[in-house]
Amino acid sequence: MISPPPLTGIKVLEFGGLAPGPFAGLLLADNGASVLRLDRSIPNKTHSASVASLPVTGDLLTRHKSSIAVDLKSPSGVNFVKSLLPAADIVIDPFRPGVLEKLGLSPDAMLEINPRIIVGRMTGFRRDGIYKDMAGHDINYIAVSGALAMFGRKGEKPLPPANILGDFAGGGATLFQGLLLALIERGKCGKGQVVEANMVDGSAYLATFPRMLLKTPLWNRSRGENTLDSGCPYYDIYETKDGKYMAVGALEPQFFVELLKGLGLGDKGIEKTRDDRANWPKMEESFTSIFKSKTRSEWETVFNKTDACCTPVLDYKELESNSSREGDQRPAVTLRSSPSFALSSGPSTRDPSTGQGPGIEGGSYSGLGLYPGEGGEETLNQWLGWKRGKDFDVERGGLVKKSVSKL
């Protein structure tokens, strides 16, 4: 018997932001939570009859979310947010330190209104660190965490892995983990709390194992000269004849032997001296030349169904267009009894325990922008039974609580 996603019934208020905060909200929404984003109001546009004139926000991480527009610069807008807190389980704060405090929406103020609420706060730098008052982006956060210095080839400058490590892995996903821990704790004690996450500590924590390896022969040399950072010829990327690439990760001796067989080097005795670093430059040169002798497709045929740990480097363009590849993006983990929502579209006949039931418009390759105010009034009705004109009104494009007349 398949049950609804595990976070069904959890209500989340997500202050509009970009990247890490919305990603934490997306993870909650993909797992069944009702996520209501709080966007900036636009006078005479938001919550009006014409949504065609509204600008779509830059946030594409909007699956299963809805939005309301609120003027946080006005007391009535702040009071409206406060009126939602008793119904909420989680609030996501993506702002720099001090922003919500200036609005009168500090974590303490929220917990006073609703002692069960969980306030998730996402910052780049540590709140108590030397960079706490500075602006920054992913590249800055992973730079001061020590993680960025580990990426890159010998003799080259460090190479940031886009904004995956800081914003999403060390940021949004780490905040999501903290929110889940807080939900578990609330289930035991009945009280909410503040969850603090930052991308410096998040990315540094993710680098726990390689950081420890720096004290071992596996990674105690300069960048690009170690086994796992492109210094080793049997753990590297090689270009093929057609300008594509194959990834090699034949670390164990038995896998290395299979790699040599596929490359036509099985009778050279290379496996006997593979750990001698003095041989690595020549081995790298040989592997480079051999891989360029065939196309990627030809190498796939050679190594398919072997233990050589040699696979094609696939990009998302071909994954999206080729149904034979593993391009149907799925939830990060699968709960077989209570699966998450599907990330990509597909027939309803798919096994729902893989998280692959019917998908939504846009799927996992094309994020859909969310208009400020889109779907939010319906969410308020679902959460609280509120309706416009009866429980709230619109002032200058933002929602405000309707005054209760006194007889």
Q: pLDDT tens digits for 129-144?
A: 999 999 999 999 999 9
Smallest Cα–Cα separation from 17: which of 74, 68, 58? 58
Interval 388-407 mean pLDDT:
85
Please check whether residue 137 is in contact with residue 199, taking contact to mean a CB–CB distance below 8 angstroms: no
Residue 231 has pLDDT above 70, yes or no: yes
Bridge partner residues of 195 (DSSP): 120
CA dihedral (207, 213, 214, 215) in degrees, to 10, reads: 140
> What's the Cα-to-Cα distance from 107 to each of 14, 72, 112, 205, rounded to whole Å?
14, 16, 8, 25
Active-site residue 167, yes or no? yes
Smallest Cα–Cα separation from 199: which of 160, 173, 162, 161? 173
* Separation of alpha carbons 404 and 282, rounded Å: 82
* Separation of alpha carbons 91 and 387, rounded Å: 22
The pLDDT confidence band at residue 405, using thresholds 50, 70 and 90, is low
Share of the chain above pLDDT 70, in %: 96
Active-site entry in 30, 93, 167, 236: 167
Task: For strands 90-93 and 11-15, give the pairing.
Answer: parallel
SS3 call for 76:
helix
The count of residues in the chain is 407
Task: For strands 90-93 and 310-312, give the pairing.
Answer: unpaired
The pLDDT confidence band at residue 407, using thresholds 50, 70 and 90, is very low
Residue 366 has pLDDT above 70, yes or no: yes
* Separation of alpha carbons 11 and 116, rounded Å: 12
* Separation of alpha carbons 47 and 67, rounded Å: 10
Residue 357 has pLDDT above 90, yes or no: no
> What's the Cα-to-Cα distance from 133 to each of 15, 76, 128, rounded to whole Å?
20, 29, 10
Residue 4 has pLDDT above 50, yes or no: yes
Q: pLDDT tens digits for 316-351?
A: 999 988 877 888 888 898 888 888 888 877 777 777
Q: Which residue has the higher pLDDT, 192 or 356?
A: 192
Q: What was the pLDDT predicted at 404? A: 61
Judged by phi (left if over 0) then psi (alpha if -120 to 50, else beta), residue 342 lies in beta
Q: Which residues have C-beta within 8 Å of that of residue 355, sequence separation ≥ 6? A: 330, 331, 334, 335, 339, 340, 341, 342, 343
Q: Which residue has the higher pLDDT, 195 or 43?
A: 195
Phi then psi for 39, rounded to 5 degrees? Answer: -105, 165
Q: What was the pLDDT predicted at 131? A: 95
Q: Which helix (H) or strand (E) holds 257?
A: helix 253-262
